[in-house]
Amino acid sequence: MAQPSNHYSSGSPMSNYTPPVVSLSGTHYEIGVQHGRLLHTQIRKQLSTYRRMFMDLSGMDWPEVREVAKQYHNTIHRKANYLLDEMRGIADGMGDETTVMDIVALNARSEIALGMWHDGCTSIGWHLTGTTKYEKKHGKQILAQNWDWRTEVGQNLALITIKQFNKPQIWMVTEPGLVGKIGLNSSSVGITLNAIRARKTSGELLPIHCLCRIALEATSVENAISRLHELGGSASCQAMLIADPTMCRGLELTPGHIFYLAENPQGLLAHTNHLLVAKDVDERPWMDGSQARYKRIHEICGEIAHTFDYDTLAKEVTPQLLRHNVFADRENAPQAISMSPSDSKEVETLFNIVMVFQRHEEPYAELIFGRPDQANGRVYSLPW
């Protein structure tokens, strides 16, 4: 079986990170107020961080950012007004000078500074079903990701659960101030997200973090995809994996189009930070290791698939095995699956999440903060 490229150590400060864990419920405005009040400190830090990033990476000061955010404010009002109510609640819950436009800017950060971000991620969806009657009944769908982003953002991450009327309950790991990110829901639907550096954007479409939330409110993969089509796709170019107990679908979202990825013969879908099928945008090379990570993750998962008998694979492929043998891999470091900062990019793996969906069973996930090859802290369980 594949082995990590180096030993575990205690070198990552994120490994011992203890996130705030908050539960939000009520009307959408009430959910936002609770969000802003309970995560006030983290949201303030996020706003300060992104002020610097927007200036450093795109030369935009915050008044300019707010102006750009207005078009997304109008689009969210038109297409998903309840999320704008929630953003308004977040701003009000802060109890300071924060405005709804500040919160809109956070939620549209991927779109406002298009092509300038340097975040990378490695995601997989793996449908594990054997040939025997037992394995077909008890097979499972894996959805997993290393999320790589600026080191300073890591100390602000939070675990949030959201209870809404007549919708599935959501559990996600997120940047405070965002209404949607990476996670799963009580209907056994989960999502991961990978950034793509490509032009174009459309202010007439929803920011990707709003679409993440909408996908996390779905009752199935098909339901989620139907909603994304109804809403016209993403305002920017992104890659998303959506899974439930029956399938995983890989999507490349561009303004106005949704492209689909196919599983390989082993039931595996993978994505890093370059487009695989979408050709209708101007993609700019940016993450030096994206191609290498994409190739490497197929190599490791292929080795795992050949290590076990096909009919025992679903039992053997656990979150712990994937953390140790896939997501801890350091080949091509620092631009490895488990990413560390380099001289030119202050980016590293900030968390790893592995979600598991099975028919007739409750969904669950395991989450660690920090690089998986240096993990020595707590393993968080979702739901909690």
**Residues facing 228 on adjacent strands:** none
Long-range contacts of 149-153 (CB under 8 A, 24+ apart): 149/119, 149/347, 149/350, 150/49, 150/53, 150/118, 150/119, 150/346, 150/347, 151/341, 151/346, 151/347, 151/348, 151/350, 152/49, 152/346, 153/46, 153/49, 153/350
**Mean pLDDT on 16-39:** 97
**Residues facing 260 on adjacent strands:** 251
Instruction: Return all residues near 306 (Cβ < 8 A) that are at least 6 apart.
Output: none
Q: Which DSSP symbol is given to 47? A: H
Instruction: Return all residues near 164 (Cβ < 8 A) that are at least 6 apart.
Output: 25, 28, 31, 170, 217
Q: Name the pLDDT band for 267 (thresholds 50, 70, 90).
A: very high
CATH superfamily of 118-382: Penicillin V Acylase; Chain A (3.60.60.10)
280-295, pLDDT tens digit by residue?
A: 787 766 556 899 999 9
Q: Name the pLDDT band for 72 (thresholds 50, 70, 90).
A: very high
pLDDT given for residue 10 in this prediction = 44
Each domain of the chain, given as residue ranges in start order, spans: 21-112, 118-382
**Mean pLDDT on 355-373:** 96
Q: Rounded to the nearest 5°, which phi and psi values hold at 182?
A: -105, 135
Task: Determine the length of the chain.
Answer: 384
**Mean pLDDT on 341-362:** 89
pLDDT given for residue 6 in this prediction = 37
**Mean pLDDT on 49-76:** 93
Mean pLDDT of the residues in the chain: 91
Instruction: Return all residues near 132 (Cβ < 8 A) that are at least 6 apart.
Output: 311
Q: Give me 218's structure tokens.
A: 């779905």
Least confident of 35-44, 141-150, 339-348: 339-348
pLDDT given for residue 285 in this prediction = 64
Neighbour-count burial for 122-145, b at 16+ CB within 10 Å, e otherwise = bbbbbbbbbeeeebeebbbbbbbb
Neighbour-count burial for 52-88, b at 16+ CB within 10 Å, e otherwise = ebbeeebebebeebbebbebbbebbeebbebbbbbbb
pLDDT tops 50 at residue 2: no
Least confident of 5-9, 231-235, 305-309: 5-9
**343 in Cβ contact with 145 (< 8 Å):** no
Torsion of CA 307, 1, 330, 262, to 10 degrees: 0
pLDDT given for residue 280 in this prediction = 78
pLDDT tops 80 at residue 248: yes
Q: What share of the chain is helix, strand, coil (3-state, %, to 5)?
A: 40, 25, 40
Least confident of 111-115, 221-225, 247-251, 322-326: 111-115
Pairing of strands 268-271, 190-195: unpaired
List Cα–Cα distances, 72 to 47, 114, 203, 279, in angstroms: 17, 14, 6, 25
Greater model confidence, 57 or 183 = 183
* Owner of token pair 């209907």: 187
